[in-house]
Amino acid sequence: MDLLNTLVDKGLRRELPSREEALAVLATSDDDLLDVVAAAGKVRRHWFGRRVKLNYLVNLKSGLCPEDCSYCSQRLGSTTGILKYTWLKPDDASKAAAAGLAGGAKRVCLVASGRGPTDRDVDRVAGTIKAIKEQNEGVEVCACLGLLSDGQAERLREAGADAYNHNLNTSEGTYGEITTTHTYADRVDTVTKAHAAGLSACSGLIAGMGESDEDLVDVVYALRELDPDSVPVNFLIPVEGTPLAKEWNLTPQRCLRILAMVRFVCPDVEVRIAGGREVHLRTMQPLALHLANSIFLGDYLTTEGQAGKADLEMIADAGFEVEGTGQVTLPEHRANAGGGGCGSTAETACGSHEGAGCGSHEGAGVCGSAPAASTPAASTPPVGEPRTDLVAVRRRGAGTDLAPNA
């Protein structure tokens, strides 16, 4: 297919595809899907080999968010029944992080619900970062705390944070339909502040909220212009109790096409499969590893994810390898560009929204969740029906007395 040959050539040269080419990827047929994956896979392997970076979320403060993001289970007035708790103590957060690091993660993403941190909150997170780094040698830390005020990004950098996540989520043209308590420009401003402070910027999107192909291309092109080191791609988890609970618009094939489009537009950037991979990609998750070079390990902010052991087995069975702590994530030209980039010794990347999410959507607090082991096969809905059986509220790990999934 001439389109795919052109896109591979452009990806290897880091040349921006045209909007028409990006839209054409999303419009390809299921018959051409494996060709699309193979083409985008060439670009992925050129810049990242067969390495898969593992990231681990720690929800420092869950629920009770004053923002009205339609996709989020932690939003104002949420009736989703998620865990609700105030700030974890630094030692508790460090213990939670240690579980993910023991499972193979090299990056910890510290997330807190809310519009944005107060100066006291920044001090609190600074203490948590210090505790994690003192107790876990070589760990990378990304903070995801919402909208930043002047000077806060610099303070987080001084405290030892390597990266900051704040997702654009959707196109500027449709942002007001998703959230009314802050603006698209507010989000761009926070990503810009993180960049300027020398933090590695992480910013991504949520697909499946009823947006058009044009909206998806708009937000990915906007992300390319912002030039984050990491782009998390979240797939909406339509959680009961949120305004988007009935938006089951994604198929595994659609998700793969979206990931391929993102890879072609952002060829040398860490592309992470974030929230919703278990729910929407399901058994096609291994194919997505040919497009993205990063995933979250274990559970998400407010929902359960695939078992950490299953994640590791999937990576190995698909012929990929877990990226080690001594390996640089980003290609040399980005890692050496400064700013603590994702892939320099202080790499980056985290993407998840959730009120203030980090790297992982959290539409349900986003993120995907695997069915409980006890779910009977007979309960699986017919083909094409919403897979509500794959969405489970997190009841373990941070904020509970139960061991985390890592």
Give the residue numbers marked as catalytic.
65, 69, 72, 109, 142, 202, 272
Spatial distance between the Cα atoms of 106 and 54, rounded to a whole number of angstroms? 6
Angle between helices 2-12 and 19-26 (to 10 degrees): 120
Structure-token pair, residue 361: 């959507």
Angle between helices 184-196 and 213-226 (to 10 degrees): 30
Residue 217: closest CA among 72, 47, 17, 44 = 17
Q: Which residues make Cβ contacts (< 8 Å) with residue 390, sequence separation at least 6?
A: 278, 279, 282, 368, 369, 370, 371
DSSP-assigned beta bridge partners for residue 322: 52
- Please, what is the Cα angle at 174 between 348 and 68, to 5 degrees? 75
Spatial distance between the Cα atoms of 387 and 247, rounded to a whole number of angstroms? 11
The conformation of residue 89, written as its DSSP 8-state character, comes to: P
Q: Which residues make Cβ contacts (< 8 Å) with residue 277, sequence separation at least 6?
A: 235, 255, 285, 288, 295, 306, 368
Collapsing DSSP to helix, strand or coil, 218 comes out as helix
Spatial distance between the Cα atoms of 24 and 269, rounded to a whole number of angstroms? 21
The conformation of residue 168, written as its DSSP 8-state character, comes to: -
Spatial distance between the Cα atoms of 54 and 406, rounded to a whole number of angstroms? 11
Torsion of CA 31, 37, 42, 47, to 10 degrees: 160
Spatial distance between the Cα atoms of 20 and 261, rounded to a whole number of angstroms? 11
